[in-house]
């Protein structure tokens, strides 16, 4: 006799009737594992097939010895088998391992089952969304307060800042991002100038293409493009890096060693992006204006000299500086959002993916919101 047969015959299957009811009880005792679970199931199915349709059946496994998930799978498959035979299925006493495994498996909707959240009314879903957003905003405000406090302390104690790490992050977020920022800004400048060239030509205002591209890029498009690109490129990376450290308990290890995660992980990233994004904005401005000049020369019969002369008249120091000022604050939002989402990560690899997505969505939203505030503020101050 083989080892599997020995194990399967070691499992005792007794059939009896529950007193006071018409229910049939199948009672299992003995060791069950992956080696013999299929043979045990076959024996139980043979017993189930002898029962009439509509019969109530109760499975009791309190005397089963199991150290893996085989019994949980056995219960699930027997429930499906009995339903197909037209029997009414009930679960009696279970061993602790099977009970734990079934609880874990029922913690997630099975394939094909309806998600309980789909049964919520629109009002309940909206209310849950408001509550989640309120809780998220509260945590974000606390995080901002801690970051500002730590940042102010670090700036008054520059020797405590990890400048070597800041320099490495500047390389990653600035120099390595320069090609994509320059290329996209060049294309945006080309598209902006090309879409305006037809209208300007109709009114004989070809020369004003320099005003349109120059002011648009320096005040708005340059800082926005650089910030949005850095959100997708670096903000998401920050969220993924810190999120992975969070779920692997590396952040907790830093705390145990007496190292503040905020000072060690968050501040260098915020400082790096604060310094990098204004410079990237300058490159974005230059690339966008270059794209506009290419269209002006090719489609509007302007010379490079006439374009640059008109550009000099159109834009001033404030136009360029206002864009860099926006970029400075955008940098805080980009890095801060990425780090915040990373520090709030939980739930394994799925949680890292959610944090990465949330960092990009939240970062872009805050950038556009901040840009709108800057536009209104500059307008009422008379400098916009």
**In the predicted model, what is the mean pLDDT of residues 133-151?**
84
Reported as type and span, the H/E element at residue 90 is: strand 88-94
Q: Which two tokens stand for residue 124?
A: 């309940």
> Are the C-beta atoms of residues 91 and 75 closer than 8 Å to each other?
yes
For the chain, the domains span: 3-110, 136-381
Angstrom distances, CA of residue 338 to CA of 6, 134, 260: 58, 19, 18
Which strands sit side by side in the sheet containing 24-31, from one edge to the other? 12-17, 24-31, 56-65, 88-94
Q: How far apart are CA 227 and CA 38, in angstroms?
A: 59
Mean pLDDT of 201-207: 82
Bridging pattern class, strands 88-94 and 24-31: unpaired
> Measuring CA to CA, how many Å separate 309 from each of 209, 219, 313?
12, 19, 7
CA distances from 174 to 154, 235, 278, 371 (A): 22, 12, 10, 21
Tell which residue, 332, 161, 141, 324, has the closest CA to residue 230: 332
DSSP H/E element including 69: none
- Tokens representing 246 are 């969070």
CA 54 to chain centre: 49
Q: Which residue has the higher pLDDT, 29 or 10?
A: 29
Helix (H) or strand (E) holding 12: strand 12-17
Residue 222 CA to residue 230 CA, distance in Å, equals: 12
pLDDT given at position 15: 82
* Mean pLDDT to the nearest integer, 162-166: 90
CA neighbor of 71 nearest in space, from 89, 51, 44: 44
* Residue 42: other Cβ atoms inside 10 A: 10
pLDDT at residue 39 greater than cutoff 70: yes
Which residue would you say has higher pLDDT here, 2 or 148? Answer: 148
Q: Distance between alpha carbon 336 and the CA centroid of its chain, in Å? A: 15
Count of residues making up the chain: 384
pLDDT at 1: 40
Q: With DSSP H G I counted as helix, E B as strand and the rest as coil, what are the percentages for the chain, rounded to 5?
A: 75, 10, 15
CA pair distance 350, 292, nearest whole angstrom: 43
Percent of the chain with pLDDT over 70: 93
| pTM for this prediction | 0.67
* pLDDT confidence of residue 326: 94
pLDDT at residue 109, as a whole number: 45
| Pair 219, 323: CB distance under 8 Å | yes
Q: Is the pLDDT of residue 384 over 80?
A: no
The predicted-structure confidence for 360-374, as pLDDT tens digits, reads as follows 999 999 999 999 999
| Token code pair at residue 163 | 């400048």
| The pLDDT value given to residue 294 | 92
| Residue 79 in this model has a pLDDT that exceeds 80 | yes
Task: For residue 112, give the DSSP letter.
Answer: T
Backbone angles phi, psi at 95, to 5 degrees: -70, 160
Checking if the pLDDT of 106 tops 80, the result is no
Tokens of 276: 């990098």
Q: Give the range among 59-63, 113-117, 344-348 with minimum mean pLDDT.
A: 113-117
pLDDT of residue 6: 47
The answer to whether domain 3-110 has CATH 3.40.50.12280 is no
- Which residues, other chains included, contact 367 with Cβ-Cβ below 8 Å and sequence gap of 6+? 224, 227, 228, 231, 330, 333, 334
């Amino acid at each position: 006799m083989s080892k599997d047969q020995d194990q399967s015959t070691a499992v005792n299957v007794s059939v009896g009737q529950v007193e006071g009811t018409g229910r049939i009880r199948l009672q299992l005792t003995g060791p069950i594992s992956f080696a013999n679970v299929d043979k045990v199931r076959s024996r139980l199915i043979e017993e189930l097939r002898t029962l009439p349709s509509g019969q109530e059946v109760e499975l009791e496994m309190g005397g089963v010895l199991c150290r893996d998930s085989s019994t949980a799978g056995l219960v699930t498959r027997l429930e499906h088998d009995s339903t197909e035979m037209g029997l009414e299925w009930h679960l009696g006493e279970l061993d602790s391992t099977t009970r734990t495994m079934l609880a874990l498996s029922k913690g997630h909707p099975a394939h094909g089952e309806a998600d309980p959240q789909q049964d919520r009314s629109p009002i309940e879903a909206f209310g849950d969304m408001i509550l989640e957003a309120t809780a998220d905003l509260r945590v974000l405000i606390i995080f901002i307060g801690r970051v500002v406090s730590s940042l102010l302390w670090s700036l008054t104690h520059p020797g405590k800042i990890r400048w070597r790490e800041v320099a490495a992050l500047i390389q990653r977020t600035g120099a390595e991002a320069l090609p994509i920022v320059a290329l996209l800004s060049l294309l945006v400048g080309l598209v902006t100038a090309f879409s305006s060239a037809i209208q300007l030509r109709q009114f004989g205002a070809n020369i004003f293409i320099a005003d349109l591209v120059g002011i648009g890029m320096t005040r708005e498009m340059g800082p926005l493009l650089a910030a949005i690109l850095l959100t997708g490129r670096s903000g998401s990376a920050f969220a993924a890096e810190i999120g992975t450290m969070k779920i692997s308990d590396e952040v907790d290890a830093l705390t145990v060693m007496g190292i503040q995660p905020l000072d060690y992980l968050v501040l260098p990233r915020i400082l790096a992006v604060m310094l990098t994004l204004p410079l990237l904005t300058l490159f974005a401005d230059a690339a966008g204006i270059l794209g506009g000049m290419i269209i002006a020369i090719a489609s509007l019969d302007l010379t490079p000299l006439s374009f640059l002369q008109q550009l000099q008249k159109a834009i001033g120091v404030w136009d360029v500086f206002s864009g860099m000022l926006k970029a400075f604050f955008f940098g805080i939002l980009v890095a801060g959002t990425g780090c915040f989402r990373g520090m709030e990560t939980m739930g394994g690899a799925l949680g890292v993916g959610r944090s990465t997505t949330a960092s990009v969505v939240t970062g872009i939203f805050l950038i556009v919101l901040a840009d709108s505030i800057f536009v209104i503020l500059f307008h009422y101050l008379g400098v916009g």
